[in-house]
Amino acid sequence: MKETHWLASDQTVAVRHGSAADADALTAIFLAARRHSMSYLPTLHSDADTRWWMEHVVLGRSEVLVAIRGGEIAGFAALGAGSLDHLYVAPALQSAGIGASLVQAAQARRTILALHVFEQNVGGRRFYGRHGFTVTGGSDGSGNEEGLPDLEMTWRAIQP
């Protein structure tokens, strides 16, 4: 599988399936994005534990889509049967269309996607809203390990 999404006149994002060989790069993006854009999150795991989780849990149990720009891994999305479990973009490449390419690729593979986004993640909430997700629930944080309030957002494909 290879999909190409145009960003600008000379910049493209290729989307491919992830593999265990991507674990280091995906872990680095995950940690950098959370530290840069989500500094309100508590640090719950060591970098080494996060690397193990990325390889054995995320890559081992999910359909992972990897965005490539300029020959480098720029971001990733992890999909469950009807869920978008993770979407992270390298901080230096945020707001450059990488996340949009990943969401579009995810939406092409599912008829429904549900996700959880922290209430404090205002930019993330706006981003998902622009891509057709609507708020369908929420929690006080008792359902996530960070213990922070979150919202459930859901997207459904338009049926012909």
Domain boundaries, the chain: 3-156
pLDDT in tens, 70-129: 999 999 999 999 999 999 999 999 989 999 999 999 999 999 999 999 999 999 999 999
DSSP 105: H
pLDDT of residue 1 exceeding 60: no
Q: Mention every residue, 6+ apart, whose C-beta is less than 8 A from residue 145.
A: 44
Helices and strands in the chain: count of H runs, count of E runs: 5, 8
- Both tokens of 7, joined, read 């960003």
Q: What pLDDT sits at residue 6?
A: 41
Quick check: 93 and 69 in contact, CB under 8 A? yes
Quick check: 27 and 52 in contact, CB under 8 A? no
CATH code given to domain 3-156: 3.40.630.30
